[in-house]
């Protein structure tokens, strides 16, 4: 490596590190709040889901979110399949039978549609049959299905323009894809009193992370009314982190297989490239070029 290349790499590394500094001073630029990055077990290029965390996250969904939000692209069977929360199969079957929201099936032999208990192959449904029913039941607001929410949300870059390419380079090098869960965590912990200069519309709450800061969803988790886990522990912070992880899995259930396969592919490609390069060098060393 030449001296120029070395100092070039060093400069890039320093700038990549600089792009990592908190940019709170620039927060709220263009209506976008600055969202802190969290540490996730499934983050980066080596991450995998933490089974226990997904199980706790599902508990939050079951005890809180499900009263308004569906999870229609996730099926009950996914809850016991590998790479997810991996609950025991029997427990999931029992859970499906007692799920509060029934599946509409039919028509039966009389030509009527009927409600039935979900089976493992059925989707995890919320309380509303359609958007109209949801809006009627929610004061005009529409609680979206949460199956893809962790992929459908991302964090906007709020730093300076010159640091942007380095921030991108760092994200590519570290395999950062967790903007969605970062946002969900920030949203769930972002409720609070509105600043004096903010006038809230009717039925809206103040949220530091939500674009525009006015959100129709009432705080689903609270500091003093969090959901307790089976071991009796828990906090608002834990709840928010665990449900964000669970929703990340719901949106990307093949992540474990994807990343572990990825490493085998990378290993194969690296070794093959090196072998091909060695072969090419030997071949070309015989002729000036």
Partner 1 sequence: MEHSSSYEPKSSFAKWWDDRLPIARLMHGQFVDFPTPRNLNYLWTFGGILTFCLVAQIATGIVLAMHYQPSAADAFNSVEAIRRDVNYGWMIRNFHAVGASMFFIAVYIHIFRGLYYGSYKAPREVLWILGVLIFLVMMATAFMGYALPWGQMSFWGVTVITNLFSSLNEIIPGVGTAVVEWLWGGYSVSGTTLNRFFSLHYLLPFVLFGLVALHIWALHVAGQNNPTGLDIKTKSDAVPMYPYAVAKDAVGLFAFLILFAWFVFFLPDYLGHADNYTEANPLVTPPHIVPEWYFLPFYAILRAIPSKLGGVIAMFSAIAVLVFVPWLDTSRVRSAKYRPLYKWFFWLLVISCVGLGYLGAKPPEGAYVIWSRIFTIYYFAHFLLIMPIVGLIETPKTLPKSISASVLPSGSGAPQGAVTAPETR
List of residues contacting partner 1 (CB under 8 A): 30, 45, 73, 78, 147-148, 151-154, 161, 164, 171-172, 175-177, 179-180, 211, 251, 253-254, 257-259, 261-263, 265-266, 269-270, 272-273, 276-277, 279-280, 283-284, 286-289
> Which distant-in-sequence residues (6+ apart) come within 8 Å of 2 by Cβ?
none
If the CB atoms of residues 79 and 236 are measured against partner 1, the closer one turns out to be 79
Pairing relation of β-strands 205-206 and 103-105?
Answer: unpaired
Cross-strand pairs, 214: 206
Q: Shortest gap between Cβ of 256 and partner 1 (angstroms)?
A: 11
If the CB atoms of residues 53 and 147 are measured against partner 1, the closer one turns out to be 147
Cis peptide, bond prior to residue 274, ω within 30 of zero: no
If the CB atoms of residues 73 and 93 are measured against partner 1, the closer one turns out to be 73
Residue pair 191/219 in contact by the 8 Å Cβ criterion: yes
Cis peptide, bond prior to residue 218, ω within 30 of zero: no
Q: Shortest gap between Cβ of 249 and partner 1 (angstroms)?
A: 12
If the CB atoms of residues 217 and 236 are measured against partner 1, the closer one turns out to be 217
Give the three-state DSSP class for 208.
coil
Q: Shortest gap between Cβ of 104 and partner 1 (angstroms)?
A: 17
Q: Shortest gap between Cβ of 159 and partner 1 (angstroms)?
A: 14
Nearest to 146 by CA among 165, 123, 168: 123
If the CB atoms of residues 102 and 164 are measured against partner 1, the closer one turns out to be 164
């Amino acid at each position: 490596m030449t001296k120029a290349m070395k100092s070039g790499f060093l400069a890039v590394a320093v700038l990549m590190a600089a792009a990592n500094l908190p940019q709170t001073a620039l927060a709220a630029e263009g209506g976008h709040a600055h969202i802190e990055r969290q540490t996730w077990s499934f983050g980066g290029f080596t991450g995998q889901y933490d089974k226990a965390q997904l199980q706790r996250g599902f508990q939050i969904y079951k005890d809180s979110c499900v009263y308004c939000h569906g999870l229609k692209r996730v099926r009950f069977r996914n809850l016991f399949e590998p790479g997810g929360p991996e609950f025991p199969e029997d427990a999931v079957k029992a859970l499906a039978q007692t799920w509060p929201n029934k599946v509409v099936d039919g028509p039966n032999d009389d030509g009527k549609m009927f409600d039935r208990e979900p089976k493992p192959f059925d989707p995890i449904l919320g309380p509303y049959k359609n958007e109209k029913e949801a809006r009627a039941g929610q004061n005009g607001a529409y609680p979206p299905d949460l199956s893809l929410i962790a992929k459908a949300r991302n964090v906007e870059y709020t730093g300076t323009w010159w640091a942007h390419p380095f921030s991108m380079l760092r994200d590519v090098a570290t395999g950062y894809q967790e903007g969605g869960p970062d946002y969900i965590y920030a949203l769930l912990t972002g409720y609070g009193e509105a600043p004096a200069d903010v006038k809230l519309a009717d039925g809206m709450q103040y949220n530091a992370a939500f674009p525009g800061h006015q959100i129709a969803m009432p705080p689903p988790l609270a500091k003093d009314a969090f959901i307790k886990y089976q071991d009796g522990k828990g906090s608002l912070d834990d709840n928010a982190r665990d449900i964000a992880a669970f929703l990340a899995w719901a949106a990307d259930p093949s992540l474990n297989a994807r990343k572990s396969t990825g490493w085998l592919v990378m290993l194969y490609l690296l070794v093959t490239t090196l072998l091909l390069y060695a072969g090419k060098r030997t071949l070309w060393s015989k002729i000036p070029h």
